[in-house]
Amino acid sequence: MARILSVVAVLTIGFLSACGGGAPDIDVVERHDMGSIQKGQAASANLIVRNTGKAPLDVQSVSTSCGCTTAVMEPKTIPAGGQGVLRVIYDSNAHAEDMGPIKRYVFVASNDPDEGDVRIEFAVDVLSARPGDGQ
């Protein structure tokens, strides 16, 4: 009887920790180099966003530092141990004067109790348009 109670206790503790214990934990690179593009082109990146925590990660908002950059997160809720994709696009046509090394930022707000707001830096090198491109 004592052995059965011990087994039930171990199973109950395991079940309870799998069901409700823990918190979400966002894991994403905080810097990404998009490489070089010609003026007039767009650069894009797909970053993997992982939830290494033990509860669902809710992405509450995604914003950017400038209108030249767009970012979309799919899905907005990532289960414990799961992952999603943050798609970022930088449009070099947004600012006529932007040339050379450019840095922009994407901000991801989530329910991660330790790192609720994450800033991700994107770098891109905008080169002058090739002759004959009409730029």
Identify the pLDDT of residue 4. 57
pLDDT number for residue 45: 97
- pLDDT tens string 56-87: 999 999 999 999 999 999 999 999 999 999 99
pLDDT tens per residue across span 26-64: 999 999 999 999 999 999 999 999 999 999 999 999 999
Q: Which residues pair with 73 in a beta bridge?
A: 86
State how far the Cα of 121 lies from the Cα of 104, in Å rounded to an integer: 6
Tell me what the mean pLDDT of segment 103-125 comes to: 97
CA gap 84, 47 in Å, rounded: 8
- pLDDT at residue 10 above 60? no
Predicted confidence (pLDDT) at residue 9 exceeds the cutoff of 50: no
Six-digit token pair at 69?
A: 């950059």
Mean pLDDT to the nearest integer, 102-131:
93
pTM of the model: 0.78
